[in-house]
Amino acid sequence: MHVLKCTAGDTVEIFPVVSSGSRPLSSIQVFLKEKERQLLQDTLNKEVMRHIIILQRWFRACLMRSHFLQKRDATLIIQVQLMVKNTVHLKKILNLFIKSIRQ
């Protein structure tokens, strides 16, 4: 018989399991008290939730990056259009100014 220390401070006994057939079902089976079983279940649930949160944060970051890049591209397009419009407008004003000087 082996004794395994548990994080709850209590000991857990480990017994080998032998099936009625020729091979054992598993090499060991752990019998836990309800308190230790609940502690392990809670730890498992916390770890699963931690992984879910990590995946959600990663996906949200990718989504935010994608939205940022779309907005940046749209902003650049608008700025270029305004620059072209302003350039055309400045050329017209310059032409009017040159015409007024020549007269």
DSSP string, 12-79: EEEEEE--SSSS-SEEEEEE--HHHHHHHHHHHHHHHHHHHHHHHHHHHHHHHHHHHHHHHHHHHHHH
pTM, entire model: 0.50
Q: Where are the domains of the chain?
A: 1-31
From first to last of the 103 residues of the chain, give the pLDDT tens digit.
Answer: 344 444 544 444 444 545 555 555 555 666 778 888 888 899 999 999 999 999 999 999 999 999 999 999 999 999 999 998 889 888 888 888 888 888 7
pLDDT for 88 equals: 86
Distances in Å between the alpha carbon of 5 and those of 10, 12, 30, 103? Answer: 7, 6, 12, 102
